[in-house]
A and B are shown apart, each in its own frame.
Chain A
Amino acid sequence: DGGITQSPKYLFRKEGQNVTLSCEQNLNHDAMYWYRQDPGQGLRLIYYSQIVNDFQKGDIAEGYSVSREKKESFPLTVTSAQKNPTAFYLCASMRTTGPGTEAFFGQGTRLTVV
C-alpha cells in the first residue's frame, strides 16, 4: 500500500537534546512538508521541499532543521534551540503536477519534553 510513514508515534525529549522525526513516503511525490499542530492553532508549516537536495523555511522554522537527500525521505530535527517543542508533528506529501492536488498525511508524531 502506498502512503506516508512517520516514526516514532510518540517521542520524549530531555531539555537540551536534539531529536529527529522520521518521514518516509512511497507515493513518488516530489513535494514533502512538515507541520506543527498545537491545540486551537491549526497546522503551521515548518519546512517544505519540492525537490531532492532543496528545501525552504515555512512560517515557524526557527529551532528546526531538515534534509532531503532522497525523494522518499524528509526527516525533521528538533534542535535544542526550539524552546517549546512539545506538539504534534505531521508530515505530508503532494504531487506537483498542477494546482489543486491532494496532500497526503502521515499519522503524526507526538513529541513531549520531559
Chain B
Amino acid sequence: AQSVTQPDIHITVSEGASLELRCNYSYGATPYLFWYVQSPGQGLQLLLKYFSGDTLVQGIKGFEAEFKRSQSSFNLRKPSVHWSDAAEYFCAVEDSGAGSYQLTFGKGTKLSVIP
C-alpha cells in the first residue's frame, strides 16, 4: 500500500527566509504527487502536482517542488516566505490503480512565520 511521510510536524521560519518542506512517499509504480495547503478551519487548496515530465514543477503562490525518484521524495520549496504562507501543508500520493482515484495524505507540516 502507498504511504506518505512528512518528517517535520512543525516548522518556524522568519519572513523572507527560504523554506523547504520534506515529503517521502512509498508507491510501487510511477507516482502522482500533490502538495495541498490548508488555512486554519478551512478546506484544502492544491498548490502543485507532478505526474510526469520535468521533475521540477511550479505551483501557485511562488511554490515549487522537485521530484526525486532515487530518493522517493517530493520536497516543497519557496525562496522567500511571506507571513500569509503560515498554514498547514499536506503532501499526497494518488493511487490510480484498478480504476480507483484515492489520495493518501501525509500527516502534515504546520508552518509558522515570524514577522
Q: Spell out A's residues near B (CB within 8 Å).
A: 4, 6, 31, 33, 35, 40-43, 45, 48, 50, 58, 88, 90, 92, 94, 96, 99-103, 105-108, 110
> Within 8 Å of chain A (Cβ to Cβ): is B82?
no
Q: A40 to chain B: which residues have CB within 8 Å? A: 9, 107-108
A99 partner, pick from B46, B90, B101, beta carbons under 8 A = B101
Query: What's the least CB distance linking B25 to chain A, in Å?
Result: 13
B102 partner, pick from A6, A48, A100, A105, beta carbons under 8 A = A48
Query: What's the least CB distance linking A46 to chain B, in Å?
Result: 12
Q: B70 to chain A: which residues have CB within 8 Å? A: none
Bound form: Cα–Cα A21–B106 in Å: 25
The number of chain B residues with a CB under 8 A from chain A is: 24
Bound form: Cα–Cα A41–B107 in Å: 5
Q: Spell out B's residues near A (CB within 8 Å).
A: 9, 32, 34, 36, 41-46, 49, 51, 90, 94, 96, 99-103, 105-108
A42-B90, A99-B94, A103-B103 given; A90·B43 CB < 8 A: yes
Q: A31 to chain B: which residues have CB within 8 Å? A: 101
Closest B-chain residue to A100, C-beta based? B51
Q: Which 8 A-B pairs have the closest CB atoms?
A: A99-B96, A105-B43, A100-B51, A42-B107, A43-B105, A105-B44, A100-B32, A42-B105
Bound form: Cα–Cα A108–B106 in Å: 18
Bound form: Cα–Cα A41–B102 in Å: 17
Supplied contacts A4-B43, A6-B43, 5 more A-B pairs, CB within 8 Å: A35-B105, A43-B90, A88-B41, A100-B32, A110-B41
B101 touches A96 (CB 8 A): yes
Q: A92 to chain B: which residues have CB within 8 Å? A: 44
